[in-house]
Amino acid sequence: MTDDRLTASGIPIKGCYGPDDVPKSVHGALEAGPGRAPFVRGAYEGMYRTKPWRIFQLSGFGNPADERERLLFLLRQGEGGIIMEHDRNTADHLYDVDHPEVVARREDVGLTGAVIIGVRDYETILEGIPIEEIYTHPGGAVVQHAPFALACYWTVAKRRGIDLRQLAGTGQSDFFLTYVGCITKQQIPPRAGLRLNNDITEFCLENLPRWVPVSIAGYNGADSGLSAPDELATVFATAVEYLDALADRGRYRPEELSHKVGGVNFRVGMDFFEDIAKLRAARKMWSDLLEQRYGIGDEKARQLRIHVVTAGSALTYQQPLNNIARGTIMALASVLGGVQSLGVACYDEALSIPSEHAHQMSVRIQQILQHETGIDAVADPLGGSYYLEALTSELEARAWESFAEIEGQGGFIEALDSGWLHRRAARRQSEQWDEVENDDRLIVGVNCHQIDETPFEIDGFQGTTDAWDQAMGRLAEVRSSRDGVAARRALHELERVCRSDGNVMGPVMQAVDADVTLGEIGGVFREVWGDWEPPIRP
């Protein structure tokens, strides 16, 4: 076994590495140091001495008041920003709570995120939270949901008299989540999604200079099976789609756009060194891509900022407290890779949405790393390691090969629409699981060191059970108390702009301000763009 060890993505690894394993070609990149192109050694010169990574956890469940309570709890624990997770039944699908698909599963509503009908619910959640000071992801991980989520959050700010230019935060609108990893029952097609994302980006360029409009989330591709090189390749293939389509609009040049597209997300799993190498390779690839493909000379415009979510798929149902150790290891790899923000998947991930205690542990893991270990003192502390440099270089080479394959498929969206990407992810997902079934890859508690687990260590968080009933009440209240004429007018205007080449974000802002609901906006999108037909028939 010692003779044929492989990384998680299948790169052969030797028992020991030396100077000859580090390609000469990487020396220049290493000497550039952190904060300088091609950024292998870090996005910023001072790294964590000047800017500690942001502790940034997913959270949300139940009623708006439940979500508010959990957000305040996390802020009290020392979280550095807030992420608002919304009910997947309604938010991901743009269904109101009285939609037949939702009613059929009404008890599910609110299980995986807070139920949000419209801007009033955002006001409830954010009550007492000083949003002008807090870095926020207000939801909208799924592409079609993002305009609504961002517009609601920004509208709350406007109503408080906060200048949008002051707001800092990030959108997501991720293609991997939407069209690969978590395919919904109804979703607008990827080309329409691309248009929405680019509208959001242009809106932010004009109105919210401190906002990351979209965040390409390799995590969702990787946790669906894509290997590390494929994750790198597909993230940048997505970025190219954004940049090319935006540049075609003619309003902004690539060097004005790249910073808005260059806030991305990767998955860090349990292959410690490969994932550190992946984050380092990612920064270099982005810098090189922008320089070579778009001729961007300005280094600052080529700086990639990375958010990491530690792999939920690496966490086990069996002996769940072991996941605290796994979370710590993955968090450590993320930090050694130079992340700007980090969410540690909670130890009860395989059982339920996070309990308060599990959430607290994810924050504490990061605080222990920040305060007790000293690993924040030196930028890229593993830089120069023969093994890590050889691995970074090899991963980069493989990722460019994968990138060329995607280009050969006609680009990211073509590869998505044809199902090429899904087949690739599915094949590797099966291979990975076969390794576990065949005991070629050992997972403690799953295929080795199993124990009798009765009574089970934890029972799983149950959340609230009245979210659908409460939301039905709020929906009726919104519909009866709003200015119906203004709401209808706003919806007509939204439809008109969707059918034109104008920017949808202005009309979506007007609509949510007129108490238009999530499902009504979804109705317009579906009417204009129809449904995506997923290329795979599972």
Query: Quick one: 88 or 280, whose CB is closer to other proteins?
Result: 88
Q: How far apart are CA 236 and CA 273, in angstroms?
A: 21
Q: Which of the ranges 157-165, 298-306, 325-333, 454-462 carries the binding residues for other proteins, by CB under 8 A?
A: 454-462
Partner residues linked to 58 by β-bridges: 83
Q: Which of 345, 361, 395, 490 is the binder for other proteins (CB under 8 A)?
A: 345
Gap between the Cα atoms of 249 and 291, Å rounded: 21
In SS3 terms, 374-425 reads as: CCCCCCCCCCCCHHHHHHHHHHHHHHHHHHHHHHHCCCHHHHHHCCHHHHHH
Task: Give the x-and-dash track for 96-135 against other proteins (CB under 8 A).
Answer: ----xxx-xx-xx--xx-----------------------
Instruction: Note whether 144 binds other proteins by CB under 8 A.
Output: no
183 contacts other proteins (rule: CB under 8 A): yes
The region of 378-386, 445-453, 497-505, 519-527 touching other proteins under the rule CB under 8 A is: 445-453
Of 134, 350, 397, 486, the residue at the interface with other proteins (CB under 8 A) is 350
- Closer to other proteins by Cβ: residue 262 or 354: 354
Token couple for 275: 């994932």
How far is the C-alpha of 389 from the C-alpha of 21, rounded, in Å? 8
For other proteins, the closer of residues 73 and 317 by Cβ is 317
Determine, following the binding rule CB under 8 A, whether residue 316 of this chain makes contact with other proteins: yes
Cβ 49 to other proteins, closest distance in Å? 31
Would you count residue 182 as binding other proteins (CB under 8 A)?
Answer: yes
Backbone Cα Rg of the chain: 23
By the rule CB under 8 A, 505 interacts with other proteins: no
d(CA 252, CA 275): 34
Q: What's the CA angle centered on 244, arms 241 and 249, to 5 degrees? A: 125
Q: Which of 523, 485, 292 is nearest to 400 (CA)?
A: 292
Residue pair 147/201 in contact by the 8 Å Cβ criterion? no
Task: Tell the smallest beta-carbon distance from residue 93 to other proteins (Å).
Answer: 6
Work out how close the CB of 366 gets to other proteins at its nearest, in angstroms, rounded to a whole number.
Answer: 17
Indicate whether 92 belongs to the interface with other proteins (CB under 8 A).
yes
Burial class (CB in 10 A: 0-12, 13-18, 19+), 250: exposed
What is the C-alpha separation between 211 and 201, in angstroms, rounded? 9
User: Taking the complex as a whole, how short is the minimal distance between the CB of residue 77 and other proteins, in angstroms?
Assistant: 20
Number of residues near other proteins (by CB under 8 A): 58
Q: Does 223 bind other proteins (CB under 8 A)?
A: yes
Pull the structure tokens for residue 343. 């969410």
* Residue that has been written with the tokens 């001729």 in this structure: 295
- Choose the stretch contacting other proteins; rule: CB under 8 A; options: 23-31, 313-321, 368-376, 480-488: 313-321
Using CB under 8 A as the binding rule, whether residue 444 contacts other proteins is answered as no
Rule CB under 8 A: say whether 440 interacts with other proteins: no
Spatial distance between the Cα atoms of 136 and 84, rounded to a whole number of angstroms: 8
Q: List residues near other proteins by CB under 8 A.
A: 58, 88-89, 92-93, 100-102, 104-105, 107-108, 111-112, 141, 177, 181-185, 220, 223-225, 309, 311-318, 345, 349-352, 426, 429-430, 433, 436-437, 443, 445-447, 450, 456, 459-462, 465, 537-538
